[in-house]
Amino acid sequence: MLRFLAIAAIVLSAGYATTTVQAASGKFFDPATKQWVSYGTARHGKSPIKRQMVNYYGHHSPGTIVVNTSERRLYHVYPGGKAMKYGVGVGREGFQWSGTHRISRKAEWPGWTPPAVMRERERRKGRILPAYMEGGPNNPLGARALYIGSTIYRIHGSNEPWTIGSAVSSGCIRLANEDVIHLYENVRVGSKVVVVR
């Protein structure tokens, strides 16, 4: 039994060491493909999950944004049975949601006003969030934001591209800056947004 436990400990520590080395070398584990992929720096805003045009067999009309939170992918539906597929970061446990809304506003390098509930939650952890933060490269909303109806949620960029493909947010949908700029340029105010779990 002791020999088994010793072997298990070695295997686990080797796995942890591999994960640490991969993360340090600019790699990110994509849970959808179950592979390690490279990502760019925050300055460049490249996603670890390359966007791609794919066949789309869903029932949503062109122009619709479909976010599949369990898959951690966003589909922007195009005509002709196609969609642009992006890797996204989604809400962590306890912050997941679903629903149908419309894009109510678009903003370039948006300012960030953390919701009161978020500021209170973080204050209890000893972290003080600003009431407002000017837009820019260090802003958590990244390069662009698409506001989802009257909700507190947004589809926005991120200065932490390594979080794409993870469940890490407080409910917002994150894309790498490069991808959110691409999506922003192809979406209009009023576009339908469908978030499914």
- Residues annotated as catalytic (active site), given as ranges: 156, 172
Angstrom distance (rounded) from CA 93 to CA 116: 20
As a 3-state breakdown, the chain gives helix, strand, coil percent values, each rounded to 5, of 20, 30, 45
H or E segment to which residue 17 belongs: helix 2-24
Angstrom distance (rounded) from CA 66 to CA 80: 16
Q: Which residues contact 35 (CB under 8 A, 6 or more apart)?
A: 29
H or E segment to which residue 70 belongs: none
